[in-house]
Amino acid sequence: MQFNLFHLMPWPFCEEPPTSWPVANRDFDPHKAKALYETYIDTMAHAEQCGFDWVGCNEHHFSPYGLMSNCNLIGAALVARTSTIRLGMLGNLVPLLNPVRVAEEYAMIDVMSGGRLIAGFMRGIPHEYRAYNIDPDESLGRLDEAARLIVKCWTSDEPFRWEGQFYNFPSVSIWPRPMQRPPPILMSASNAQAAEFAARHRAMMGVTLIADLDLVAANIAVYRRAARAHGWEPGPAHILSGHQTVIADTDEQAQEIMRSGLEYFHQVLMRPQRQTQTEVLTGTNYYAGAEQKQYFDRRLQTLRERTLEEQIEAGTVFCGSPASVLRQMQRVQKALGHGVFSLTMQIGNMPDAAVRHGMNLFRDHIAPQMRGV
């Protein structure tokens, strides 16, 4: 098993829940943010000392949900503070960006880190397309073309011309080129369509916010079949599942911390996102069919309505003492047969001290037991 410490860099100081998206930034305090960035980056770097194999960054826009509008900036900061851990940029919302610029920035991180990049090619949450004024209906086509273009940027030794549906460049030859040729790629694959897409691009698949283990297992089966159809065989290391995670000295302490963090996450950070996502999905073809849209809606609704105990039972979250979390992880791994757990341990406004303590407990009591799985 491998483990990724994933971090959203949430803003924990909202006094009132925001009611609309984009969220007004009148209450943003840059002095508090400077200290928060320092704390968050220090905690992410600490993952290397806690037995994590990766540390994961992400990209979101226009809300306190996350302070990483460019995950590559955080990745570059982590290059200087780490030496062995892989840097998971999970990642750039590729359809919203210039793919050649993404290829260049990822190559810089890979070279500066000595070949430690894991390159996320993310499609993004539906409402993010409003932030950069990109038609959500074009998202899948843009991602497909951009992914092919980025890989060509990384693997071509001579300048090349690109004429596509969405991107046109008369001559491309990036400097630097990455140390890995190419770096490993990860794509989100929370439904069957996305699982097939990731397999076609020979990417690792990432499944987050698990709502039903049977559905996730079915998506993994789609991914494996599609990979074989495209001439390659994925192993456990190609499959990642993501979970909000709290580890404390006792089950009771962990549940108290988790409940408080989840309340802020769902009632404050997610509140403006939900309404806007619904509006975007209603007016677009972001998902190729009604089945994919219903799956997305049902997953969000299920996560909001389940009790903490039900989420633990479902495998959505890991929560408890080290012994309890170890059992929870073993059960999910047995059900999915995957090789990477991505743990979001900073949930909502929970204190950094609780996050650090959970990381240390993971290092001392869980990682040694899970390594041989």
Q: Give mean pLDDT, residues 151-175.
A: 98
Q: What are the pLDDT digits (tens) for 133-149?
A: 999 899 999 999 999 99
Q: What are phi and psi of 65, to 5 degrees?
A: -55, -40
Using CA atoms, how far apart are residues 75 and 132, in angstroms rounded to an integer?
22
- Inform me whether the pLDDT recorded for 155 exceeds 60: yes
CATH of the domain at 342: 3.20.20.30
Pairwise pLDDT comparison (259 vs 281), residue with the higher score? 259
Q: What are the pLDDT digits (tens) for 345-373?
A: 999 999 999 999 999 999 999 999 998 77
pLDDT value for 25:
95
Using CA atoms, how far apart are residues 342 and 2, in angstroms rounded to an integer?
9
pLDDT value for 287:
60
Tell me how many degrees the CA angle 350-356-360 measures, rounded to the nearest 5: 140
Using CA atoms, how far apart are residues 272 and 19, in angstroms rounded to an integer?
5
- Global pTM value: 0.93
Cα four-point dihedral sign 234, 235, 238, 243:
positive
Buried residues in 174-191 as b, exposed as e (16+ CB within 10 A): beebbbbebbebbbbbbb
Arithmetic mean of pLDDT over the chain: 93
Using CA atoms, how far apart are residues 246 and 261, in angstroms rounded to an integer?
10
Q: Give mean pLDDT, residues 80-105.
A: 97
Using CA atoms, how far apart are residues 314 and 340, in angstroms rounded to an integer?
18
- Say which amino acid occupies 201: H
Using CA atoms, how far apart are residues 249 and 247, in angstroms rounded to an integer?
7
Cα four-point dihedral sign 23, 39, 321, 57:
positive
Structural domain count, the chain:
1
pLDDT value for 283:
62
Peptide bond into 368 cis (omega under 30): no
Neighbours of 105 (CB within 10 A): 21
Using CA atoms, how far apart are residues 146 and 261, in angstroms rounded to an integer?
36
Rg (CA), the chain: 20
The answer to which of 25-39, 129-143, 254-268 has the lowest mean pLDDT is 129-143
- Say which amino acid occupies 325: V
Give me the residue label for tokens 């990860």: 186
- The percent of residues in the chain predicted with pLDDT above 70, rounded, is 91
Q: Give mean pLDDT, residues 95-103.
A: 97
Using CA atoms, how far apart are residues 313 and 118, in angstroms rounded to an integer?
31
pLDDT value for 273:
80
Q: What are phi and psi of 170, to 5 degrees?
A: -70, -30
User: Of 288, 62, 307, 124, nearest to 192 (Cα)?
Assistant: 288
Segments forming the whole domain that contains residue 212: 2-370
Cα four-point dihedral sign 181, 186, 187, 189:
positive
Give me the residue label for tokens 């939900």: 274
pLDDT value for 182:
96
Query: What secondary structure does DSSP assign to 167-181, as a single string?
Result: -EEEEE--SSPPSSS
Q: What are the pLDDT digits (tens) for 285-337?
A: 666 555 555 555 555 566 567 899 999 999 999 999 999 999 999 999 999 99
Using CA atoms, how far apart are residues 4 and 88, in angstroms rounded to an integer?
8
Phi-psi region of 180 (alpha: psi -120 to 50; beta: other; left: phi over 0): beta
130, 276 contact by CB (below 8 A)? yes
pLDDT value for 175:
98
User: Of 49, 26, 178, 29, nearest to 112 (Cα)?
Assistant: 178
Pairwise pLDDT comparison (235 vs 274), residue with the higher score? 235
